Structure 1
Amino acid sequence: MTDQATKPGFDRRLLPAMMLGSVLNPINSTIISVALIPIGWALGAPPAQTAWLVSALYLATSLGQPVVGRLIDLFGPRRLFLAGTSLVGLAGVLGAVAPNLGVLIAARVLLGFGTCAGYPAAMALLRSEAERTGEDNPQGVLTALAVANQTIAVVGPLLGGLLIGVGGWRATFALNVPLAAAAIVLGFLRLPKESVRRGDLSRLDLPGMGLFAATLTSLLLFLMNPHVSTWYLPVLTVLVGGAFAVRELRTPTPFIDLRVLGGNTPLLATYGRAVVAYVVAYAFLYGFSEWTEEGFGLSAFDAGLVQIPMFLTAIGVSIVSGRRRGVRGKLLLGAVGQIAACVVLLTLTGSSPLWMLVLVALIFGLPQGLNNLALQNSVYFQSDPERTASSAGLLRTFAYVGSMIASSATAASFGPHADTGGMHTLAWVMLAAGGLYLLVTLFDRSLGRLRGPA
């Protein structure tokens, strides 16, 4: 009885910083969805150009997440967390005063790099607390992180609409200034201090990081503009990717240990699921939001209001499912929810009753609440404990690859106007991705053996 009473538990003082840091990226990912049309009107830019505001953030974050994650694995979360959140505040100021679309895109790039530290830092802190306490039972904290991310991700459009109604689209950028200030204060006061050992610096694989960045950049630039005129980009991706693989297999301290990763088929399958899951999620987030404003005629605030059912459903589903072990059932149910929502999307027109839009949002809340939680928990239990932060960063990278595909599909489907025909084309793309997600999950037998707390 005495041992149980004196047994150290998870340091709950870390939670506010962990949760705030981890939500900086999803809030900037989603709040922009209802701001794209007002920004386009204000700056004279069509949807095909404002789509770069989405792509720029994901390009920067896709590159930065695994790099920052690896730095956190080596040096601890505190320094990277404070540096990243400071960059978020700077990006908020730049976006709030931006005179044109080019500067806005630059602000989104800074936001992408600045928000890279929050989620890997949270996962690293979770692992270090498990080692300190001797209990690898992160069920409650993983659920709290997932719920925080779900809340922000889904409430983002509503918050964005409210901010636009009060202070215009620039307010969606200015919001980052107080958020960053709060994160810096919490990080400074609560996150444990670390000492950098000279040996840690020698473990940095800078050439590997550079080749990884070049590979991913060429791939994502092609995904943003898949055209015959950009044929050289996939060729460059293969060539530089090959050089990256050779480098990582030969160096004693690789940036991404391809030997371990290549032998971890369940983790690779999780990353693949993340790609297709986020194709559906972000195509809906951006495409549906743009269509409700331009194709259906709602204001930015009302477009966010329509998604409240998704917010409520996702939060409730995350809380309830977070208490249950295993992930396979969650992933399968999430896949079915995605497919059902896409089918309903195909029936919508500019004259559909408003309740049908609410119904679509309600259905999408189910996979929104299940998939992210299950994917996050899968990575925690499937990854090498010494590379928890970088593995978590890679999960976000694969998710952002999916979001880039979604952004490209949205721009190609809509063209100059977000009309109903374009939305239906996008829905077919989403349906194909949802079907693939279901198949990948059905045939992954390793999920049945994943019985960690979820």
Structure 2
Amino acid sequence: MTAVAETSTPQASVPLKLSLALGSGTVLQALNSSMIAVAIVPIATYFGSSSGTAWVISALYIATAVTAPAAGRLGSILGAKRVYLAGLGLIAAGSILGSLAPSLGWLIAARILLGIGTATQYPNAMTVIREYADRHRAQTRSAIATLTICAQSVVALGPTLGGLLVGTLGWQSIMWVNLPFVVVTAVWVFFAAPSDSALPDRAGAAALFKSLDPLGITLFLALTTSTMLFLLSLAEHAKWYLVPSTALFAFLFVWWERRTTSAFIDVRAIARNRALSMTLGRTLLTYTAFYCIFFGLPQWLQVARGMSPISAGLFMLPVAAVGIFATMSASRVYGKFGARITLLIGTAALAVGGILIAFVESSSTPLVALLLIAAILGIPNGFNNMGNQNLINSVTTSADVGTAIGLYRTIQYIGANLAAVVIELTMRGTIDDAGLHRTGGTIAVIGIALLVGVVFSRTLRSR
């Protein structure tokens, strides 16, 4: 993953029809990871028990975290368009299985299929865009902004859409609603995206399998699964016995990836590429704070403010709306001033939002003030996403950008599970104003730490 950048002045942008087509598929990951939040109670009622329902949420996160880098790597070998379309097929299969699931176990299996399918979209969309830009000397900022809006900013729309679907059509509706998206996206991408190169012949099949680094993928699967299982356990009864196994898998994974000639994730290159490693570390903290907001606020609104799930979902609309506007604004700021200024705005807004939650927001706060705070919380979503994702695009080659973005998505969902732990620890079993203030304080500390890091970062200053 050698550092490269757009060194010449591009003559055009990636066509909007291409980025919109690719972005339409990335919407599915955002919606499926967030609509489920309002469906858990009806699912538990339908199957007669709440035991195991947490895995309905976690199964998708784990599957996505593990699959995203592998999907990016597979796309660079077999063709990003092919892998993107194959992922849509898995989403359709998972949606049908989930809507007809006879038991909770089958529903969890369907969510795993959904996680694998949705994990293929974003890394391979980035690869298609980067390859197009390299061939046509086009700039990628506007295309990345489109993908960011589709893949991340619409997350906040999930609870609203999910609440409406579950309230009117039952929990199964959040599964089959994927099918029209799949059909439209598949047709759109098939005609809008450039064709991939020819598949390897039989003689190259063995070399292809070896280049995928199956042992590296297996060790990465074991490491990611063990890590996420441990993080999930912290919210209830910590499974400390997973720590030694996680450390062992981490050692074996790094050892093998440094040793093999066809590494799944080139850990040596990441270590050498300081800009990439710093961006991935910053992403972990950023998403931990983001999901503290995304998971914490709706729960507090329902319990402490007495809102219905639909009302709480509607309350998140300002986060989404401002996030979309902030993403478009951040694209222009990045193009004019670069990553450092973009991230300064994003991290400063995150710190301010955390401070407002910690010291202003309470059960007696007027609704208008709450909506204003929600709007402010949409600013860091757009600016931090655009700053970090453009950085990853500029410091990796077109062959490696899919894997790097896959890692970005993996870290995003590790951050989501860290946020669940943070919320559990700060709320201390009771969702009230005091717990919300502690959560807000944690968000503020993360925002301030990120802000200081951006201010004093030599890597960002040099860029």
Distance 1:305 1:13, change over 3 A: closer
Partner of 1:131: 134
Q: Is the 8 A contact 1:164 1:301 kept in 2?
A: no
Question: d(CA) in 2 for partners of 1:416 and 1:11?
Answer: 49
State the Cα distance separating 1:413 from its structure 2 match. Answer: 4.6
Corresponding residue of 2:412 = 399
> CA offset at residue 125 of structure 1?
0.6
Counterparts of residues 280-295 of structure 1 (less than 5 Å):
280-295=289-304
The equivalent of 1:145 in structure 2 is: 147
Q: 1:58 is matched with which residue: 56, 61, 81?
A: 61
**CA deviation digits over 1:173-201, x for unaligned, max 9?**
22112212222223333441432221434
Deviations 1:415-437 (A, max 9, x none): 76644444334333333332332
How many Å apart are 1:229 and its aligned residue?
5.3
Rounded to whole Å, the distance in 2 between the matches of 1:264 and 1:45 is: 49
Q: Is the 8 A contact 1:276 1:436 kept in 2?
A: no
Amino acid at match of 1:306: F
Aligned to 2:8: none
Residues 28 and 228 of structure 1: CA distance in aligned 2, closer, same or farther (over 3 Å)? closer
* Partner of residue 187 from structure 2, selected from 185, 188, 191: 185
The corresponding residue for 1:344 is: 356
SS in 2 for 1:296: coil
Q: Please tell me the residue identity of whatever aligns with 1:144.
A: T
Unaligned runs of 5+ in 1: 1-6
CA contact (8 A) 1:16 1:186 kept: no
User: How far apart, in 2, do the equivalents of 1:254 and 1:88 lie?
Assistant: 28
Q: Aligned match of 2:453 in 420, 440, 451?
A: 440
Report how far residue 60 of structure 1 moved: 0.9
Greater shift after overlay, 34-43 or 163-172? 34-43
Per-residue CA distance 1:50-98 (angstroms, 9 max, x = gap): 5443322211111000011111111211221122111112222233344
Contact 2:96 2:176 in 1 (8 A): yes
Q: Which runs of 5+ in 2 are unaligned?
A: 1-10
CA distance in 2, matches of 1:84, 1:410: 32
1:293-442 correspondence runs (5 A): 293-324=302-333, 325=335, 326-346=338-358, 347-414=360-427, 418-442=431-455
Partner of 1:115: 118
Counterpart for residue 263 of structure 2: 254
CA separation of 1:245 and 1:230: change in aligned 2, threshold 3 A: same
Determine which of 232, 256, 280 is the counterpart of 1:224. 232
Output one character per residue of 1:126-185: Cα deviation in whole Å (capped at 9) or x when no partner. 11112221x151122122222333442232222223223322333222211221222222
SS in structure 1 opposite 2:332? coil
In the alignment, the residues of structure 1 paired with residue 53 and residue 459 of structure 2 have an alpha-carbon distance, to the nearest angstrom, of 41
Distance in 2 separating the partners of 1:251 and 1:385: 21
Inter-CA distance 54–330: structure 2 relative to 1 (3 Å threshold) = farther
The 2-side partners of 1:423 and 1:445 are apart by 35
Deviation, 1:202, is: 3.4
Cα deviation digits, residues 262-311 of structure 1 (max 9, x gap):
10111111001111111111111111112212332112221121122222
Determine if the alignment matches structure 1 residue 207 to structure 2 residue 220.
no
Q: Secondary structure at the match of 2:139?
A: coil
Q: Distance in 2 between matches of 1:404 and 1:104?
A: 21
Pairing partner for 2:25 from 18, 21, 25: 21
**Cα separation, partners in 2 of 1:219 and 1:9, compared to 1, 3 Å:** closer
Amino acid at match of 1:216: T
The structure-2 alpha-carbon separation of the partners of 1:9 and 1:348, relative to structure 1 and needing over 3 Å to count, comes to closer
Asked if the contact 2:60–2:111 (Cα under 8 Å) also holds between the matched residues in 1, the reply is: yes
- Deviating more after overlay: 107-116 vs 415-424: 415-424
Identity of aligned residues (%): 33
What is the CA-CA distance between 1:101 and the residue it aligns to?
4.5
Contact 1:89 1:178 in 2 (8 A): no
Give the count of matched residue pairs.
Answer: 442
CA gap of 1:400–1:9, structure 2 versus 1, over 3 A, is closer
* Inter-partner Cα distance in structure 2 for 1:413 and 1:167: 35
Q: CA RMSD in A?
A: 2.5
CA contact (8 A) 1:310 1:363 kept: yes
Of stretches 137-146 and 28-37 in structure 1, the one that deviates more from structure 2 is: 28-37
Return the alpha-carbon distance in structure 2 between the equivalents of residues 404 and 54 of structure 1: 11
Kindly state the Cα deviation for residue 38 of structure 1 after the two structures are TM-superposed.
4.9
The answer as to whether partners of 2:304 and 2:433 remain within 8 angstroms in 1 is: yes
Matched, 1:33 2:37: yes
Moved more, 63-72 or 192-201: 192-201
Write the deviation string for residues 363-410 of structure 1: whole angstroms up to 9, x where unpaired: 101111211111111110012332110011011111111111112333
**Deviations 1:333-386 (CA, angstroms, capped at 9, x unpaired):** 211211222222234333432223212211101111211111111110012332
TM-score normalized with structure 2 length = 0.88
- Is the contact between residue 73 and residue 388 of structure 1 (CA under 8 Å) also seen in structure 2? no
- Name whichever of 108-117 and 151-160 sits farther off: 151-160
- Say whether the 8 Å CA contact 2:14–2:139 is kept in structure 1: no
SS in 2 for 1:372: helix
Shift of 1:412: 4.5
Deviation at 1:320, TM superposition (A): 1.9
Contact 2:230 2:238 in 1 (8 A): no
Stretch moving more, 67-76 or 199-208: 199-208
